[in-house]
Chain A
Amino acid sequence: MKKKIYFLCLGIALFVGLNGNCQQQLAFSFGETPQTLMLNPGAETNFKYHFGIPVLSNFNLNAGITGFNLSELFLADNGNFDNKFERVLNKLTEEDYININARIDILNGGYRYDEKTYLSFGFYEEVDIIAYIPKDFADLWYYGNVGELNRAFSFSQLTFKADILGVLHAGISRKVNKQLNIGARVKIYSSSFNIESNHNSGTFTTFENSQNILRQSLNDVNVEVRTSGLIGNNDKALENATDLISNTFLGGNLGIGFDFGFTYHFTPQLELTGSILDLGFVRHSKSTRVYSAEGDYTFDGINFTGFDPTNPTDYWQQLEDDFDDRVPTDETAEAYTSWRPTKINAALKYSFGDIRLKKCFTDTYKRYYYNSIGFQVHSILRPKGPQLSFTSFLETSITEKIHSKVTHTINDFSALIIGSGFTFQWGNVNVFGLVDNMLGARDLISASNVTVNFGINIAIE
């Protein structure tokens, strides 16, 4: 059994480690706060019950950009903005992206069912945006296609996804034995807005040709943009922006997802935790629009073949008809499925130093070490593949009630992201706060990413 779990954990760690690039979830495995359960439903808890302060129980904001930072554009240095923009544009590649994720708990609570089982539930709102830089078309917009003979401007770079949704969830964390704690959470998604486009293909190319001076071609174009929540049933655009909020309360397009997690103690001092979150999808069937274009087209210009003023040829109409035949476009209200960005977390933690005893919900005492070190990996599945971050951390308890964490993270954004966090227990009030990229926080426009996470909960132990 131990071996199986060990290899399972190793497998998860390797999967996370081998796949790509990303953002971080600093709070993962940072114990003694009820919100840990949201990052690992298999986290251990010592609460009899908890409830979050509405709206304040958990707020998380993560914003990041790759390829440049805002100071390169917006530094007040009296520099020419066009020159700055050009420098940034020339640096960017189609792998660069902008990512914003904000999450706010509306309701969060938990209840100990029995000695081994803790139940939790709640509702949160989430906004998630990722947009990859369509480098080719950004160049086409800024510079044009003159001087770009034979360059294939690729539609595959058109990749983005934005969501606004509410999530109703309920989870269970259960102690299997002294070493293992497992958990799961079911989520009902209510999406009020989605727009996404990915897996596009095709190119636009201009090249020299003997028929005319230039030939332009669209090759194997297959582009689709899907959206829901923007167009009402009366075919009118959404007029009331508050509908975007109200529809997240189970009034939007619904979906289902699951979280799974575990905590495993190899020894009292060595702990492995892991979780997979948002393994699910949303089925968009209300207020949907799917726009598509597909085909091939070669354009040499208008070939004058008539030269007959008494019987003129309508070349332009022929051109339009031919284009519509070869590259048909479509707009439908068909339903579609949007997969949630699944996240995978894993952490290995070694605790050491002085021991403190903490009375648990029963009359037993649990041993805690004052210090721990370890590493954690976080991966999120994005449209162009997983994004990964690797974090090493040091945790220490400043007092029995105040615990802190200092981290160093390497990810797409930077190789030097220093973060810190704390949890503070004052009576039954649990407060936590984490900030990633402390160095960047001093000068936000020079930072490539910033993560802020804080919350206030009432936890009865």
Chain B
Amino acid sequence: MRFKYKPLILVFTLSLLYSCINNADFNQVDIDATPVLNFPLVFFELDQLDFLDDTSTIELDSITDVTEFDAFQSSTVRQNLGRVDLLFEIENMFDRNFQVEVDFLDDQDNITYSFQDLTIASGIDFIELRESVIIERNPLILNTTKARITVRLSSSSGILDPDVEQRFSFKSVGIFYLFF
């Protein structure tokens, strides 16, 4: 018995001759990845003692802390960052208002970007604030190597009572918009 399917094999074989990459365009590769990455940044909690000197008799109108912040020194970030947002969550259980200043600094402590001062009224148990920075309009921000936060206590006729517990909490997240 001999199969009569040889023409089929011929068709298969001939079809190979027509093998090709039809309608392909390998030059169109142009991926615009736009990842949005968030990272926790600075957080702290203050109480009434943080605004009094060691003797608890003199009130400090502001306190400041600073940290190195090298996120902008990464070549990937420097080359591809289009925008950065800072998201703040603040709780103020003091009976005073606060003003929070967030500044980015370069190596020489020059301000590379200053966020709008955050004014927090007394007795606010939660406030969420967000500020966006477009890198193209604020290229100096890429020189940032430090972050500084100053917390100012509004003045009052009396000074804080060291025995009355009051609380101020600050939380922040950085949201980085990258464009590859």
Contact = CB atoms under 8 A, between A and B. Distances in A.
Interface string A198-213: 0000000010010111
B24 A301 contact: no
Contacts of A215: 40
B16 A314 contact: no
Contact of B13 (A371, A420, A443): A420
A406 B12 contact: yes
Interface stretch (B2-10, B132-140, B155-163): B2-10
Contacts of A309: 64-66
Contacts of B46: 307
A75 B24 contact: yes
Nearest to B87: A213
Contact of B23 (A76, A216, A304): A76
Given A146-B175, A438-B16, A302 B42 contact: yes
Interface stretch (A35-43, A77-85, A181-189): A77-85
B111 interface: no
Contacts of B50: 307
B35 A303 contact: no
Interface residues of A, number: 64
Interface in B43-98: 43-44, 46, 50, 63-70, 87, 89
A332 interface: no
A216 B173 CA distance: 11
B28 interface: yes
B42 A304 contact: yes
Contacts of A443: 20-22
Interface of B: 1-3, 5-6, 8-9, 12-13, 15-16, 18-26, 28-44, 46, 50, 63-70, 87, 89, 149, 151, 171-173, 175, 178
Given A144-B37, A309-B66, 19 more contacts: A74-B24, A75-B23, A142-B33, A142-B35, A143-B35, A146-B37, A214-B40, A216-B40, A316-B69, A394-B3, A396-B3, A398-B6, A404-B9, A418-B12, A438-B16, A442-B19, A442-B20, A442-B22, A445-B24
29 contacts: A74-B28, A76-B28, A141-B33, A142-B33, A144-B34, A144-B38, A144-B178, A147-B36, A214-B40, A216-B39, A300-B43, A301-B42, A301-B173, A304-B44, A304-B149, A308-B65, A313-B65, A354-B1, A354-B2, A398-B6, A406-B5, A420-B9, A438-B15, A441-B15, A442-B18, A443-B21, A444-B19, A445-B22, A445-B24
